[in-house]
Structure 1
Amino acid sequence: MTRATLAEVLHPALEKRYAVAGVVCLGWEDARAYVSAAEAERAPIILQAGPGCRAHTPISVIGAMFRHLADAASIPVVLHLDHGATLEEAQAALAEGFTSIMFDGSSLPLDQNIRKTAEIVKLARSHGASSEGEVGFVGYDNGAASALTEPVDAMRFASETGVDAMAVAVGNVHLQQNPGDGIDEQALAGIAKATNGQVPLVIHGGSGVPALQRAALAKSSPICKFNIGTELRMVFGQALRRRVNDGTNEFDRLALLSSVHDPLAQTLRGILRQIGSSDRY
């Protein structure tokens, strides 16, 4: 198994009650470590190129890297555009072989968010790809405040856009460096009921969800995808800092960057086991 769509990995997760990790990639070193971890755990994995990654590296380069990793892997690998903002970004990603597109219209009025997301869904499907949208607004630690997802809005958004996965705001926050208050399970239950538990839900800011709650919700709710970024970036930075400061005066970037692989892979393997996606393939 190599390249997969979001629907192909989330539908089994919804049926069998586990979640898949959407890992935020910033370059070769972390993306390679993530696929290595997923292979070791026999778990599906979603490689995500967010706005920061795309600002640093051309989408054509990211696409080539993701395709190479997916085509060499023995487990399903989703090539996912995260937080896309325009139709043009979606078209560019699909042209580079991305198998999943997230359009983030969460800051728009609901009607406009639905209309624009539906356009992306139609475009993605014409390329054999999947789609993700967001209703409500997931805020940022020490930044923009969240707006909780209303169940009635979630029901309408899912029905009128036809998204394969729906990101929701239920207490989760982007960029948290430590576990926060966690998911508002009452709010989550309202959304699950409104959508009959049939729409795979996505938690952005998964790093801020306490580990025990992350594990429990993967088993007991329609949450099928946890986005994990900050938690892994912290491991990357800590491992690199240790190597740079180890007193050897090493200057070769390959030697320095190779130090992040094992800590990243080990940390992600623990997360994959935690959310139940190990030994699925």
Structure 2
Amino acid sequence: MSLITSTEIFKRAYEGKYAIGAFNVNNMEIIQGIVEAAKEEKSPLILQVSAGARKYARPAYLKKLVEAAIDDTGLDVVLHLDHGEDFEICKQCIDDGFTSVMIDGSKHPFEENIKLTKRVVEYAHEKGVVVEAELGKLAGIEDDVNVSEKDASFTDPDQAVEFVERTGVDSLAIAIGTSHGAYKFKGEPNLDFERLEKISNLLPGFPLVLHGASTVIPEFVEACNKYGGNIPGAKGVPEDMLRRSSKLGICKINIDTDLRLAMTAAIRKFLVENPEVFDPRKYLGEGRDAIKEMVKHKIKHVLGSSNTL
């Protein structure tokens, strides 16, 4: 088994009307929990690395951990750069062996976003690497991504068609109402499915991506708060909305916040209930198990990608 691109798994996801989970990774326990879940559920898998993860764990460690996970589980894995901010970081990840990169030019004007994305696409395709881009701006804060609510903007369907045609990009992250981080909605959750359906109809067969799509599972938020945390008012994307989006062309759903909450809740609970324990393997093991169970739930009940390998 090996590192693969997302081309074939996206094709099958689009035709099967399910989505592939793209899970952000930062350390060994997170990677182990995710890949063990994917193996048990026989699900395709994308492991993605953000700028913050690269700074924290350093690129060489993350790449070797992902390679070790492939050796251990026998899974094919897409290794993806999440939110590459410029050509240089995309080039570095491509040269380092990533099979997929995201160039996030959404902060730039339309023409500049096209120019930047096309440059990355040309370099990546020469190396057999696929490229995700973004059109529209998601609000919220996650690692190095920080977009205020007033600066957020939904994706224009006609612009999406022009963008894909002119850049040659392989997948497109769109803005339809999700946001980064744990505080996605002030009122009731709402996604613009009419906009999503229009984009999907204008780009038949083309894989779309949903960022900021953690559910912010209430039981994890409650556990964090019960055992000493302070996360008031966190609210994510309801699972039924995510399932509906996968029927309308969303082939990749990004999940990061739910990983953080699951691991943190389990570790907080263990440390409070076992104050005498100071062995990191004990509490990190609890965090790993929590991630595994949460990812299995996502694969079976949200993404719909179980038994598709």
Q: TM class, shorter-chain normalised? A: over 0.9
Report 1:11-160 matches (<5 A): 11-140=11-140, 144-145=148-149, 146-160=152-166
Report 1:121-270 matches (<5 A): 121-140=121-140, 144-145=148-149, 146-177=152-183, 181-195=189-203, 197-207=204-214, 208-218=236-246, 220-270=247-297
The answer to whether the aligner puts 1:5 opposite 2:5 as a matched pair is yes
Is residue 262–residue 290 contact of structure 2 (8 Å, CA) maintained in 1?
A: yes
Aligned residues: 279
Question: 1:72 aligns to what SS in structure 2?
Answer: helix
Q: 2:213 is matched by which residue type in structure 1?
A: G
Is residue 84–residue 104 contact of structure 2 (8 Å, CA) maintained in 1?
A: yes
TM-score (norm 1): 0.94
Shift of 1:251: 0.9
Shift of 1:182: 3.5
Residue deviations 1:23-43 (CA, integer Å, cap 9, x gap): 011211101110110001000
Residue deviations 1:1-35 (CA, integer Å, cap 9, x gap): 43211213211111221100000112111011101
Shift of 1:65: 1.5
Q: 1:47 is matched by which residue type in structure 2?
A: L
Q: 1:254 is matched by which residue type in structure 2?
A: R
Cα distance, 1:126–1:18 mapped onto 2, change above 3 Å: same
Question: 2:291 aligns to what SS in structure 1?
Answer: helix
Residue deviations 1:201-260 (CA, integer Å, cap 9, x gap): 000001132101111222x21000100111121001001111211234111212221111
The 2-side partners of 1:11 and 1:139 are apart by 29
Cα distance, 1:143–1:137 mapped onto 2, change above 3 Å: closer
Shift of 1:113: 0.5
List gaps (5 residues or longer) in structure 2.
215-235
The 1-side partners of 2:270 and 2:119 are apart by 47
Shift of 1:280: 0.6
The 2-side partners of 1:100 and 1:247 are apart by 42
Shift of 1:96: 2.1
Cα distance, 1:221–1:11 mapped onto 2, change above 3 Å: same
Q: 1:107 is matched by which residue type in structure 2?
A: K
Question: 2:134 aligns to what SS in structure 1?
Answer: strand
Shift of 1:68: 2.1
Q: 1:153 is matched by which residue type in structure 2?
A: Q
- Please identify runs of 4+ aligned residues in structure 1 that moved more than 2 A: 70-76, 176-180
The 1-side partners of 2:118 and 2:11 are apart by 20
The 1-side partners of 2:81 and 2:71 are apart by 18
Shift of 1:111: 0.6
Is residue 33–residue 289 contact of structure 2 (8 Å, CA) maintained in 1?
A: yes
Question: 1:94 aligns to what SS in structure 2?
Answer: helix
Aligned match of 2:223: none
The 1-side partners of 2:98 and 2:286 are apart by 29
The 2-side partners of 1:269 and 1:47 are apart by 15
Residue deviations 1:58-93 (CA, integer Å, cap 9, x gap): 212212222222343333211000000122211221
The 1-side partners of 2:184 and 2:296 are apart by 19
The 1-side partners of 2:55 and 2:109 are apart by 26
The 1-side partners of 2:202 and 2:83 are apart by 25
Is residue 83–residue 103 contact of structure 1 (8 Å, CA) maintained in 2?
A: yes
List gaps (5 residues or longer) in structure 1.
none
Cα distance, 1:72–1:94 mapped onto 2, change above 3 Å: farther
Question: 1:171 aligns to what SS in structure 2?
Answer: coil
Cα distance, 1:177–1:33 mapped onto 2, change above 3 Å: farther
